[in-house]
Amino acid sequence: MPRHQRYCPANVPQHVVQRGNNHQLCFLEQQDFATYLTYLKEYKEQCHVDIHAWVLMSNHVYLLCTPKDEMATSLLMQSVGRKYVRYFNTRYQRCGTLWEGRFKSCLIAEEAYVLNVYRYIELNPVRAAMVQRPEHYFWSSYSCNALGRSSDLVTPEPVYMALGKNDAERQMNYKILFSRVLAEEELCSIRSSLQQCSLLGSAVAQKDVAAKFGLSIPKQSAGRPRYNP
């Protein structure tokens, strides 16, 4: 089966997922998580990518980001991924691949879906039954977006900024969003867009973004998406 074409226009938010090869663990100790974040901070500046939300799971990386230049997200993921693999292989005296091929991503075609992706990312540890509440998981941007923890990594997305007139109001309204879990329909929409490496949004919004950047919209598969992060 041919690969889906990689879309990465400038100034369009993207949901990105990188997973371990054959579900293998990518982060074994606290130092591994911290090292990956160090590399992410380094290359997000070099590659001109704003990161709005993130979570590091044991065998997955999830990001909500906006590239400032065309194809910047691809450059970011390649640069971080390669440097981290060198670190990981040296630390654990192993060789070979760590990641499952290319990362998956989808463009977010409509502002109304941006906050759903924020929630999808930061609720991953809760859905995985690792913690009961998102603030209980350390390796996540939730404490920055909801609790005001200072971070050199996180840049607020405009939709997030519109949640309030100041930091306290935005954080309060953001926490309110997490009072309910994402509906099954919302989860399926996000997962399907990732599986197809396509666009997330209403049909009208997808067509508008596709026309603007000259993109094709992959035909959606019937039934539930197979990719289920």
Q: Is residue 224 part of a domain?
A: no
The tens digit of pLDDT for each residue in 107-151 reads 998 998 999 999 999 999 999 999 999 999 999 999 999 999 999
Does residue 84 sit within a domain? yes
Amino acid 88: pLDDT: 97
Give domain status of residue 5, yes or no: no
Mean pLDDT, rounded, for 27-42: 98
Distance CA(182)–CA(179), nearest Å, equals: 10
Q: Number of C-alpha atoms within 13 angstroms, CB side, residue 32?
A: 19
User: The dihedral of CA 201, 204, 210, 216: what is its sign?
Assistant: positive
With tokens 């508008």, the residue in question is: 208
Is residue 225 over pLDDT 70?
A: no
CATH number at 56 reads 3.30.70.1290
Residue 102 pLDDT class (50, 70, 90 cuts): confident
Selection from 115, 13, 113 nearest residue 68 by Cα:
13
Residue 225, domain member (yes or no): no
Span 48-75, pLDDT tens digits? 999 999 999 999 999 999 999 999 999 9
Distances (CA, A) of 207 to 25, 60, 65, 211, 213: 38, 30, 21, 6, 10
The count of structural domains within the chain is 1
Give residue 106's pLDDT: 93
Q: Residue 145 belongs to what domain range?
A: 14-210
Indicate whether 98 belongs to any domain.
Answer: yes
Does residue 169 sit within a domain? yes
In a domain, 7, yes or no: no
Q: Is residue 221 part of a domain?
A: no
